[in-house]
Amino acid sequence: MYDIHDLTRQLQKDNGSRIVMLVADGLGGLPLTPGGKTELDTAKTPNLDQLASKSSLGMSVPVLPGITPGSGPGHLGLFGYDPLKYQIGRGVLEALGIDFDLGPNDVAIRGNFCTLDAAGKITDRRAGRIDSDRAAPLCEKLNNIKVPGIEVFVRHVKEYRLVIVLRGEGLGGEVEDTDPQKTGVPPLEPVAKNAGSKRTAEAAAVFLKQAREILKNDAPANFLTLRGIDKKPAIPTFEEVYGLKAGAIAVYPMYRGLARLVGMTILDAGQTLADQCARLEATWRDYSFFFIHFKYTDKCGEDGNFDEKVKKIQDLDAVVPRIMAQRPDVFIVTGDHSTPSKMQSHSWHPVPTLLASDLCRFENVNKFGETTCRGGSLGQFEAKHLMLLALAHAGRLEKFGA
């Protein structure tokens, strides 16, 4: 119907203001028992609570009601990119997750080591889940493969998983998986889904032929299958669509990768929240937008550890004054999705969101949590609209129409 970025390209203005978006991964939660409290409602968060009293609150719907997002769609939504429009293949996400800087001529492929029997049939699709110490040197061997006219990069990820990147002009990203999804049959040949990807399929076949020779004595990892073959989608940058110079301060590579996808500069995040705050302070004058990512709320949710998730939220709360000391014009606290400890997984539940600025309608509440955000003045909104609210409160959007 309309494109958000057509609007922001047209309406953006640079007034020198600064926006900080603090993303607590998997922030939203569920009570363990009927009528109980969520992790966030349980946590003692004096700083966020005090901020809530001067902020607008609301609930962010990551994709659509009922749709549980992965990290990719979850973050693209927060960055203002419709996650149903910009879909990211598994190979690309895997490459982002090991900090591989994909270019426009790169095809990214997720590889799985597998075991072949003497007849060339797969007996184990994950090569006995070999450990990283054994798999990493195999990736180094594969990294020496030469395919004429194409650059090849092979990088180990974890255990039996690796990433292969084929770099070259005219390589399409539409090639079928070679993993047959079952044992007792040989791996499939790479097949192009369209004419533009024929060269990619051929390059992959050349790669696999050499790989078979290189790995032949490395059972159980004596071959590999290819999956999620894809190119990076063409995504306009933050600078172009919003006029923002954006810096990302994320400890985990996946989130640096997602930030890189939308053109953010990747800043050294160190290992801790204190490191991240120090980086924010050191680079404050250099950027107009900061994305700070905090992973541990999601991690504890995935582990089903309610109490630990509460503690991680409290850790996050403790650094809020340090961020606010920079006096951002807009400060947002939200999550890319909910990860209720009760479910030990991502979920579709809307995510509590706080937006602090001098131009807020206030809520007359003194707690940040699902209970207060549910009735907040930002209402329940699609995550992809959050950047519009951020820009507006930062004074960075002109009036639409006369």
Site residues for a second copy, 95-134, by CB under 8 A, read none
Q: Which span sits near a second copy by CB under 8 A: 19-27, 218-226, 310-318, 370-378? A: 370-378
The residues with which 83 forms a beta bridge, in sequence order, are: none
Q: Does residue 84 belong to the site contacting a second copy (CB under 8 A)?
A: yes
Question: Which residue of 2, 104, 234, 327 would you call a contact of a second copy, by CB under 8 A?
Answer: 2
E strands within 232-364?
Answer: 246-250, 265-266, 289-294, 330-334, 351-356
Which CB, 267 or 355, lies closer to a second copy?
A: 355
In this chain, which of 26, 83, 111, 328 binds a second copy, going by CB under 8 A? 83
| Structural contact between residues 261 and 232, judged by C-beta atoms closer than 8 angstroms | yes
Minimum CB distance to a second copy, residue 255 (Å) = 13
Using CB under 8 A as the binding rule, whether residue 401 contacts a second copy is answered as: yes
| Cβ proximity to a second copy, 200 vs 339, nearer residue | 339
| 297 vs 280: CA distance, rounded Å | 21
State yes or no: residue 346 binds a second copy (CB under 8 A): yes
Specify the residue, 256 or 279, whose C-beta has the smaller distance to a second copy. 256
User: Please, what is the minimum distance in Å from the beta carbon of residue 73 to a second copy?
Assistant: 4
Identity of the residue, 205 or 360, whose beta carbon is nearer to a second copy in the bound complex: 360
Interaxial angle between packed helices 253-261 and 71-78, expressed in degrees from 0 to 180 and rounded to the nearest 10: 50
3-state SS class at 275:
helix
Tell me the CA distances in angstroms from 251 to 195, 276, 379, one per residue in order. 40, 8, 31
Q: Is there a contact between 317 and 39 (Cβ–Cβ < 8 Å)?
A: no
**Pick from 26, 72, 243, 257: which binds a second copy (CB under 8 A)?**
72
Question: Taking Cα atoms as reference points, which of 394, 391, 358 lies closest to residue 54?
Answer: 358
Cβ 173 to a second copy shortest distance, Å: 16
Q: Give the x-and-dash track for 45-64 against a second copy (CB under 8 A).
A: --------xx----x---xx
CB 281 within 8 Å of CB 18: no
Question: Residue 109: enclosing H or E segment and its boundaries?
Answer: strand 106-116
Q: Which stretch binds a second copy (CB under 8 A): 1-9, 15-23, 99-107, 284-292?
A: 1-9
Of 223 and 238, the one with the shorter C-beta distance to a second copy is: 238
Contact between 383 and a second copy (CB under 8 A)?
no
Q: Give the count of alpha carbons within 13 A of 103, CB side only.
A: 9
- Please enumerate in sequence order all residues whose Cβ is within 8 A of that of 36, keeping only pairs 6 or more positions apart, or say none: none
Q: Which two tokens stand for residue 145?
A: 């493969």
**Does the protein bind a second copy through residue 170 (CB under 8 A)?**
no
Amino acid in the structure at residue 357 = S
In whole angstroms, give the CA distance from residue 204 to residue 109: 10
Q: Does 42 bind a second copy (CB under 8 A)?
A: no
285 versus 399: smaller Cβ distance to a second copy: 399
> Which residue stretch of 113-121, 192-200, 219-227, 366-374 sits at the interface with a second copy (rule: CB under 8 A)?
366-374
b/e 225-239 (16+ beta carbons within 10 angstroms → b):
bbbbbbbbeebbebb
Is residue 347 near a second copy by the rule CB under 8 A? yes
Q: Toward a second copy, which CB reaches closer, 33 or 271?
A: 33
Note whether 187 binds a second copy by CB under 8 A: no
- Which residue among 199, 232, 349, 367 contacts a second copy (CB under 8 A)? 349
For position 212 contacting a second copy by CB under 8 A, the verdict is no
